[in-house]
Amino acid sequence: MTRILLLSPADLDLADEVIVTGVTDSDTETVHRRVIYPSCPPIGAHDWALADLAIMAAGQDAQAEGFDAVCLADFGDYGANALRSLLDIPVVTAGRASMLHALTLGAHFSVLTGERDYVRVKKLVHEYALDSQCAGIHLLRPEAEVLDVVGKAEVLVIAGGTQKSGFDAPNIPIVDPVSLAVKIAESLVSLCLSHSRHAYPVPQMRKAALIKAISHQS
């Protein structure tokens, strides 16, 4: 049995059944928790710092709670690196996993995003060194313009999208970041793989109580 903790930002209001039935193994359990960011929507660095903290607080006990992996549904990957430093279990994030996975399906990917994530996606693409593999980051606008983007894309990644968002583009693979992240997490658990301690060293001293105290959600 694999237990996955899925953390999603409360402002996206993802349904509890965000993962379509049948996508995961029959003995995989996904527990979905919503996390409130102190400053929302997360459109700039101030908001991102607080989102990092909120996600770190929400996930820091995941391993102790008996989860086998953590998935972060926010395409902005907030708090991901911090959680990796704190946890031995895999932490799979919607943004990083879906953009890398898109490159298994085609040579370049395009990202469709709303205004909430636009600047963050640009930052992440650069940070993950995927500038030359990313064909474009496009704001979701009226239908006609979206179709224009879709017409030129090799692989489409929908930031903030889910399998239930109903977006359709025949003949082009569309990566749903949340379902993908959960599936990759399940795969990592079944292969006994997790992140590298060389890339994500443990802190000399954990500050769990401090993190919890300053992140307390009333």
Distance in angstroms between the alpha carbons of the first and the last residue of the chain: 33
Counting contacts by CB under 8 A, is residue 218 touching another protein?
no
Residue 168 interacts with another protein (CB under 8 A): yes or no: no
Q: Contact with another protein (CB under 8 A): which of 54, 176, 177, 211?
A: 176
With respect to another protein, which residue has the nearer C-beta, 88 or 115? 88
Binding mask 96-135 for another protein (x = CB under 8 A): xx--xx-xxxxxx-------------------xx--xx--
CA distances to 86, 143, 155, 175 from 149, in Å: 39, 10, 11, 15
Q: CA torsion sign, 95 to 97 to 100 to 104?
A: negative
Which uninterrupted H or E stretch holds 96? helix 94-105
58-87: b (≥16 Cβ within 10 Å) or e: bbbbbbeeebbbbbbbbbbbbbbbbbbbbb
Alpha-carbon span 131 to 15, nearest angstrom: 32
Residue closer to another protein, measured from CB, 13 or 27 = 27
Query: For residue 188, how far is the Cα from the chain centroid?
Result: 15
CB of 101 to another protein, least distance (A): 7
Site string for another protein, 51-90 (x = CB under 8 A): ---------------------------------------x
175 binds another protein (CB under 8 A): yes
Residues in touch with another protein (CB under 8 A) = 22-28, 90, 92, 96-97, 100-101, 103-108, 128-129, 132-133, 153-155, 163, 171-173, 175-176, 179-180, 183-184, 186-187, 190-200
